[in-house]
Amino acid sequence: MISQQIGVVLAQIGTPEVPHARAVRPYLQRFLSDRRVIDYPSYLWKPLLHTVILRVRPKRSASLYKEIWTEDGSPLLVISENQKKGLQERLGEGYRVELGLAYSKTDIAEAVQKLEEAGIRRIVVLPLFPQYSSTTTAVMYDRACFAALGRTKADGPAPKRFVPELRLIGSYHNRYGYIRAMRDLMNEELERLAEKPDKYLFTFHGIPRRYVESGDPYPQECEETARLLASELGLESHEWIVTYQSRFGPEKWLGPSTADTLARLASEGVHRPFVFSPGLVTDCLETLHELGIDARKDFTDHGGAPDGFTLSPCLNDRADWLDFLADLVRVHSLGWEEHEEFPYGLTRILHE
């Protein structure tokens, strides 16, 4: 039976099911085997991955996950489910929202399958990555397109006779609703502080410089997001800096490094850094541990006071953020359904 509903895949990276090495290993294997993420020649990378990295890293990563795990499970999964629920409530009965994870359950192929089994033939794919990168946004495109085609890889068999219509949402790094939601979140966090920060760090997940040199627009979009956010906050140019985190491997990555920057700022006498991650919209290992624990230690080990370091939460399931995402989906489904009104700021989404 054909459904008139519009499907939405809320696409996110994923998370291990439990914080144990046996669960982290297959998650890391899927992640680090993706050619979008690591593009070294297979004959070089696969032996290193299977004989060294996947023998050592899962245990270490599991110990980090244990430090941020909650009674309800993985923070990323819990928050992502709340985002899905909130988006569904805003979009109403004309839409059906499914969460799709790139490297863990429920994966994007399963999300597409659920929508198809419900008779849905039109699907919007919404990556939860405001800044485009081949390592994130394009991964979601691959997964969704292969699932819709009935393939597991580009040259695999395509047994399906009917392929649903897909619309892929790309970068929204400079959309006003996104910038405004971050501004309001940060202002709320700043109101809780006894003293004003003396430096703002807008930290983004890094990628190798080689990816940028071969065409990935990611750093330009990160920098534009930071400029717009700083402007909305009324910050002067000397008050904020863009940094990059999560380096991996021997290659040169985007910089400056968040860890190195915090160490330098502490040694230079910065007392109250305020750290925020605009590109990671859901709290996860990279924010809760890498920033909340490791980055704080980088600051204090070089003379910074522990109570001077402030880490803002991500946008998570804030109402204004979900309002923006709902309108973003509506814009990308225009022509599929007649919309009488856009209660969350369509004009700004289209024109700003």
Tens digits of per-residue pLDDT, 235-287?
A: 999 999 999 999 988 899 999 999 999 999 999 999 999 999 999 999 999 99
Residue 154 has what pLDDT?
56
Laid out side by side, the sheet with 273-276 consists of: 240-245, 199-205, 273-276, 310-311
Extract the tokens encoding 18.
């439990």
Residue 150 has what pLDDT?
83
pLDDT tens readout for residues 85-139:
999 999 999 999 999 999 999 999 999 999 999 999 999 999 999 999 999 999 9
Is residue 243 helix, strand or coil?
Answer: strand
Extract the tokens encoding 108.
């994007």
> Which residues make beta-bridge pairs with 240?
200
State the average pLDDT for the chain.
93
Distance CA 165, CA 140 (A): 16
- Average pLDDT on 312-319 reads 98
Q: Is-contact 276 202, C-beta < 8 A? A: yes
Q: Does residue 162 come out as left (phi exceeding 0), alpha (psi in the -120 to 50 range) or beta?
A: beta
Indicate the pLDDT class of residue 310, thresholds 50, 70 and 90.
Answer: very high
Q: Is the pLDDT of residue 155 over 80?
A: no
Residue 345 has what pLDDT?
54
CB burial class (10 A; 0-12, 13-18, 19+) of residue 310? middle
Q: Is-contact 196 235, C-beta < 8 A? A: no
Of 168 and 337, more confident: 168
Neighbours of 267 (CB within 10 A): 12
Q: Is the pLDDT of residue 348 over 80?
A: no
- Average pLDDT on 145-170 reads 80
Is residue 244 helix, strand or coil?
Answer: strand
Indicate the pTM of the whole model: 0.92
Residue 91 has what pLDDT?
97
> In angstroms, what CA-CA distances link 301 with 25, 211, 241, 294, 295?
31, 32, 21, 10, 10
Domain locations in the chain?
A: 6-15+74-172+319-351, 21-68, 176-311
Fold matches, 6-15+74-172+319-351 and 176-311: yes
The percent of the chain in helix, strand and coil, each rounded to the nearest 5, is 50, 15, 35
Q: Which residues have a Cβ under 8 Å from the Cβ of 66 and sit 6 or more positions away?
A: 19
The amino acid sitting at 129 is F
Distance CA 93, CA 87 (A): 11
Q: Is-contact 302 322, C-beta < 8 A? A: no
Query: Is the domain covering 176-311 a CATH 3.40.50.1400 domain?
Result: yes
Share of the chain above pLDDT 90, in %: 87
Dihedral, CA of residue 181, residue 219, residue 200 and residue 291, to nearest 10: 90
Q: Is-contact 240 201, C-beta < 8 A? A: yes
Among candidates 171, 186, 262, which has minimal Cα distance to 225?
Answer: 171
Is residue 100 helix, strand or coil?
Answer: strand
Lowest mean pLDDT among 26-35, 289-298, 311-320, 342-351: 342-351
CATH-assigned architecture of domain 6-15+74-172+319-351: 3-Layer(aba) Sandwich (3.40)
Indicate the pLDDT class of residue 329, thresholds 50, 70 and 90.
Answer: very high
Extract the tokens encoding 145.
């397109």
Q: Is the pLDDT of residue 18 over 60?
A: yes
Indicate the pLDDT class of residue 11, thresholds 50, 70 and 90.
Answer: very high
Residue 209, Cα to own-chain centre: how many angstroms? 19
